[in-house]
Amino acid sequence: MKEQAIPKATVKRLPLYYRYLRILNTAGKTKVSSTELSEAIQVDSATIRRDFSYFGELGKRGYGYDVEDLMHFFGRILNDDQLTNVALVGVGNLGSALLKFKFHQSNSIRVSCAFDIKEDIVGRIVDGIPVYPMDSMVEQIKLQHIEIAILTIPAQEAQPVVDKLVDAGIKGILNFTAARLSAPDNVIIQSVDLTNELQTLIYFLHHNYEDNK
């Protein structure tokens, strides 16, 4: 693979490519072109070819891409051949939904433990996942060698929890709170603001309608 920085936008599209290649492989398809991929996943073919170019020669002009080879290649890049245990912090409505989801789109991701402060849920097994009290979070994360956490707690409580997660050895945090969080440079925080995403969608819907009147 070429030694160069991969744009963040490209990295975000890799799971999409990988998922569709798995579908093609299951269906018994052996070759696919960038045009076929474009039509299926709604990413223009020029973008697909540019994304793939960051990883060297993955296909041949006039021949397309070998589905199985490309699927295994992206699987290795995404570490899909290794099980990644994840901790969930906050078992409210959103947290409970994430426990039920169980990340079926990837066999390599598993929420292995959850943490909460509510007495009626702590100590229980929810959808096959044990829920621990918050005061045992650092100990359990270290014990289970977990490096990724999902944060679904009130925004005002998020930063102190992040500080504890960092102390526990967490290297990546998927933040579903609206809080702007800080962490050391070696810890990656990826924020998902559902309100912001919905407002952006509403904006595009409204302006697309206005433009097409």
Cα angle at 34 between 29 and 36, to 5 degrees?
55
Residue type, 14: L
- Cβ–Cβ under 8 Å, residues 168 and 142: yes
CA distance 159 to 63: 51
Rg (the chain; Cα; Å): 20
Q: CA 71, 73, 74, 79 torsion: positive or negative?
A: positive
What token pair was written down for 102? 């169980």
Q: CA 66, 70, 104, 112 torsion: positive or negative?
A: positive
Q: Known binder of ligand: residue 25? A: no
| Residue located via tokens 């229980």 | 124
Q: Known binder of ligand: residue 92? A: yes
Q: Known binder of ligand: residue 75? A: no
Residue 137 CA to its chain's centroid (Å): 22
Q: Known binder of ligand: residue 62? A: no
| Residue located via tokens 């093609």 | 24
Residue type, 76: R
Q: Known binder of ligand: residue 93? A: yes
Q: Known binder of ligand: residue 169? A: no
CA distance 166 to 203: 36
Annotated binding site: 90-95
Annotated binding site for NAD(+): 90-95
